[in-house]
A and B are shown apart, each in its own frame.
Chain A
Amino acid sequence: MITFAEPREVKVALEDVKYLADDRIAQVVFLAERLGKPVLIEGPAGVGKTELAKALAAVHDRRLIRLQCYEGLDESKALYEWNYKKQLLRIQADQGSDWSRLEEDIFSEDYLLTRPLLEAITTEEPVVLLIDEIDRVEVETEALLLEVLSEFQVSIPELGTMRAVSQPLVLLTSNNTRELSEALKRRCLFLHIGYPTVEREKQILLARVEGVTEHLAEQVARIVRSVRSFDLKKAPSVSESIDWANTLIALGIAEIEAADVTDTLHVLLKYQTDIERVAKELEI
């Protein structure tokens, strides 16, 4: 586990694993590690929110535990569950023995199934915990997270409180489809990641796309920036510009002409109306 002395080191370390952070991202990550606080990352889809968690896991050489949120996610999927089949077997095997002893036995850690949140704080090695798309769970479920996020502990009625053996680095992502609760936000540092500048996008492309020339990367970044300025249903994100650059290379295009753009627009844009609009604008 590396401890960073200043944000610049974070930036350099992330660069080594091909994640190009800007100064703001580096600063917030640095603070999160110093203050031991979770980071709530918001921003459009495909700007590298999840990628940041993966990169941080790689930097620290930690395991990444990921909790993908969805509507209907509950305690037994997020925190822990009793392995009741095993408990039943145990009861059957021990028929006739003293109940109070048996009870003590079957509600012990041997019969506990750990789910991502509990696992993240009970492993010996510190991990990176990614709670992905937190805005998909209901407000009530959000409350499950509060204890883990602020105290790094989980209370299990039958067992007592399980405290963190190691403190995980926690990242939450949200696509901002609903307002998160105040309580949750208060416990987190907030990081909004938007679309990168042309220069940074170019660097990202150079780092991420195999065999891209500097010229092509710059052209892609500039055109994508221009496309983003249209009024679109879904503006192209960094992940789309990476896909696009890959497509162009596969097609053997080294210099982008307007016709190439219209031919490959479907890689960049996901809605037919968007494609039509951009094609029309570019074909002047």
Chain B
Amino acid sequence: MLLDVLTGFIQELRSAGVPVSMVEAIDATEALRYTDLADRVAFKSTLGATLIKNVRHLEAFETAFEVYFAHHRPEPEIGDGNGSPRKSEAAPGEGGRPGAGGDRDLDELIEALFQALLSEDLASIRALVRRAVDDYAGIEPGRPVGGTYYLYRTLRRLGVDGLLERLLESEDGHGRSDLEERLVREEFEERIEQLREEIRDEIRRRLVADRGREAVAKTLRKPLLEDVDLMHAARADLAQLEQVINPLTRKLAARLAHKRRLRRAGRLDFRRTMRRSLATGGVPIEPQFRAPHPIKPEIFLLCDISGSMATFARFTLQFMYAMSSQFSKVRSFAFIDALDEITSFLDVGTDFPQALDRISTEAEVIWIDGHSDYGRSLDQFWARFGGHLTRRSTVIITGDARNNYRDVNSSIVPQLVDVSRAVYWLNPEPEAYWDTGDSVMNAYAKHCTGAYEVRNLRQLEAFVEQIALPPVGRVSRPVPHEPGPGRFWQR
């Protein structure tokens, strides 16, 4: 029986994108032999330690665990909740008809919840949450939903924000310092957050009971962080994404450094080889090589920061700056219907959120109406900064190429390509939407060195890896600092 649930659970993890190998599944089964199955924390720790090997997968694990191994609390507890002295008078009359609770009932429930929160009495909170979900969530059996709707419905009826204010007022605030005030507020907020979690769990349990584990798990399945759509990410996801950007870039940087080292096609250092050979009686046993000089590209990053593109631009900027050690220089430009250089806002050591605030207020990126105008912005870039481009420069343009039916001006792109190493276009829209509506993607893309759909961190990472470490052995573009006939021929 347990084994069946366990295999289902592992299957669910795999469907959510968490790689669980056969060996790990066997380990988990083996480890469960030494686990007190009645102890939920122990059980969860055992599964976590054996099945999950990456912090980024913990969230998917949490969700799946809640669905597959929901608490099975004994039902009579509800009776206990009603039986507590505070409500004993009201309970016998009305408690029997769930859903029919009037306002008086609701007030009383909120009052009890308030007391329980104040004293951090987890058992009562849970009992009360069960009652609240019974009466106010209005769960309709059979509907294939994830439960967010029910959650908000319950929260609204309970007036959770009001609860927080009451909690804050309840504590005697006289003579409290600002610091203490702040701490108390944060702690109450955390309790409210816990209450929210409890309600969410309770609703989830009802849903599982109603529709079965597989179905609920499927509705709750969320993409892994690497796969979250950057353009349409929810605020909570954004915060998490920002946290993974730095470790991710560090990993990428380490990988690049390592690959560069492997690719040591340095030329023979004759002098050092001869010097070394003296130790072996003039026989050059160990040839010495010159250290290779990796060519680090210089980046010109052009970001569309109009409303719909802002989040994406932000991530691209943050990612490129975190990676800046991999490039010889990063210069960045922002545009909407005018273009401005923003490199100075993003100096090393500046605080990123602050820098973004300054960019949106100080950079001159709006000309007429603040609707994207790619043609004009590119034209400006070419006129003002075209002279700075060299064979070492890589130009990256990010945006959806939705030009609001303005002049496309696509002839700029081949000019850019001509004087730089490469011109790439990153579009956060799915490739299928390119050239629909006012998108003029292909007019630009056909001239670019490459145009990519970059909708999530995974794709962004893959792209950066590619430009920081161009494949060897291809001669489609000349190596910048090696002048030779090839260079002119290529042009």
Contact call B250/A178, Cβ cutoff below 8 A: yes
Contact call B24/A7, Cβ cutoff below 8 A: no
Contact for A42 among B23, B55, B179, CB less than 8 A: B55
Return the CB mask of B453-484 against A: 1 if under 8 Å, else 0.
Answer: 00000000000000000000000000000000
Q: In the complex, what residue of chain A is closest to B41 when comparing beta carbons?
A: A23
Contact call B27/A35, Cβ cutoff below 8 A: yes
Residues of B within 8 A of A185 (CB): 53-54
Return the CB mask of A15-46 against B: 1 if under 8 Å, else 0.
Answer: 00000000110011011001101011010000
Residues of B within 8 A of A177 (CB): 247, 250-251, 254
Contact call B251/A178, Cβ cutoff below 8 A: yes
Mostly helix, strand, loop or mixed at chain B's interface? helix
Contact for A23 among B21, B42, B53, CB less than 8 A: B42
- A: residues with CB less than 8 A from B are 6-7, 23-24, 27-28, 30-31, 34-35, 37, 39-40, 42, 138-139, 176-179, 182, 185-186, 188-192, 222-223, 225-226, 229, 231, 256-258, 261, 273, 277, 282, 284
Residues of A within 8 A of B52 (CB): 190
Interface residues of B in 13-41 (CB under 8 A from A): 19, 21, 23-24, 27, 30-31, 34-36, 41
Contact call A273/B349, Cβ cutoff below 8 A: yes
Contact call B177/A35, Cβ cutoff below 8 A: no
Return the CB mask of B175-188 against A: 1 if under 8 Å, else 0.
Answer: 00111001100110
Interface residues of B in 350-379 (CB under 8 A from A): 351, 353
Residues of B within 8 A of A277 (CB): 351
Return the CB mask of B243-262 against A: 1 if under 8 Å, else 0.
Answer: 00001001100110010000
- B: residues with CB less than 8 A from A are 19, 21, 23-24, 27, 30-31, 34-36, 41-42, 44-46, 48-50, 52-55, 58, 177-179, 182-183, 186-187, 247, 250-251, 254-255, 258, 349, 351, 353
Number of A-B contacts (CB under 8 A): 97
- Supply 23 A–B pairs (Cβ within 8 Å), ascending by A: A6-B36, A24-B41, A27-B46, A31-B31, A31-B34, A35-B31, A39-B49, A139-B258, A177-B254, A178-B254, A182-B21, A186-B53, A188-B53, A189-B27, A190-B48, A190-B53, A226-B186, A261-B179, A273-B349, A273-B351, A277-B351, A282-B182, A284-B178
Expressed in whole angstroms, the minimum distance between the Cβ of B57 and any Cβ of chain A is 10
Residues of A within 8 A of B187 (CB): 222
A39 to B52, CA, bound (A): 13
Residues of B within 8 A of A176 (CB): 55, 247
A30 to B250, CA, bound (A): 33
Expressed in whole angstroms, the minimum distance between the Cβ of B178 and any Cβ of chain A is 6
